[in-house]
């Protein structure tokens, strides 16, 4: 018995590989979303900073606004790229393991 609940001779490996290749394509789309995520977060942060009244903005954001935005963008971009890489790597390694078993 295999771990999929059926005997190995009844298990269709070609269908499994097709499904895994489809998952790889979907994970690529998810990776694109995670790469675009920092841009959306950047816009939200900028909109939040711009909506804060002038006195509060001087109190909390006394540095140049571009420096704050750039720092936040770099941090968010680094996190989102690492998540996207993990997703793609996990799907690819699973597919490569199954292809090597054939």
Q: In sequence order, what DSSP letters do the residues of 12-58 get, joined into one string?
A: -HHHHHHHHHHHHHHHHHHHHHHHHHHHHHHHHHHHHHHHS-HHHHH
Domain for residue 78, yes or no? Answer: yes
Q: Which domain holds residue 54?
A: 25-101
Domain for residue 6, yes or no? Answer: no
Tokens 């996190």 identify what position?
Answer: 79
Considering only CA atoms, which of 98, 97, 95 is closest in space to residue 22? 95
- Please tell me the total count of domains within the chain: 1
* Residue numbers in the chain where pLDDT is lower than 50: 1-2
Please give the Cα distance from 64 to 46 (Å, whole number).
13
Domain for residue 17, yes or no? Answer: no
Quote the pTM value. Answer: 0.32
Domain for residue 2, yes or no? Answer: no
Domain for residue 36, yes or no? Answer: yes
The mean predicted confidence, pLDDT, of the chain is 65
CB 38 within 8 A of CB 77: yes
pLDDT value, residue 40: 74
Domain for residue 3, yes or no? Answer: no
The torsion angle over the Cα atoms of residues 23, 27, 33 and 35, rounded to 10 degrees, is: -170
Instruction: Give percent of the chain above pLDDT 70.
Output: 24
Domain for residue 4, yes or no? Answer: no
Domain for residue 51, yes or no? Answer: yes
Structure token digits, residue 90: 């996990």
């Amino acid at each position: 018995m295999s771990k999929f609940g059926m005997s190995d001779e009844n298990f269709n490996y070609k269908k499994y590989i097709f499904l895994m290749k489809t998952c790889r394509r979907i994970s690529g789309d998810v990776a694109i979303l995670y790469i675009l995520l920092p841009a959306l977060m950047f816009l939200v942060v900028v909109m939040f900073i711009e909506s804060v009244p002038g006195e509060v903005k001087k109190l909390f954001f006394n540095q140049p606004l571009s420096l704050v935005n750039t720092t936040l963008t770099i941090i968010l971009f680094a996190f989102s790229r690492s998540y996207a890489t993990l997703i793609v790597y996990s799907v690819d390694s699973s597919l490569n393991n199954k292809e090597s078993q054939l």
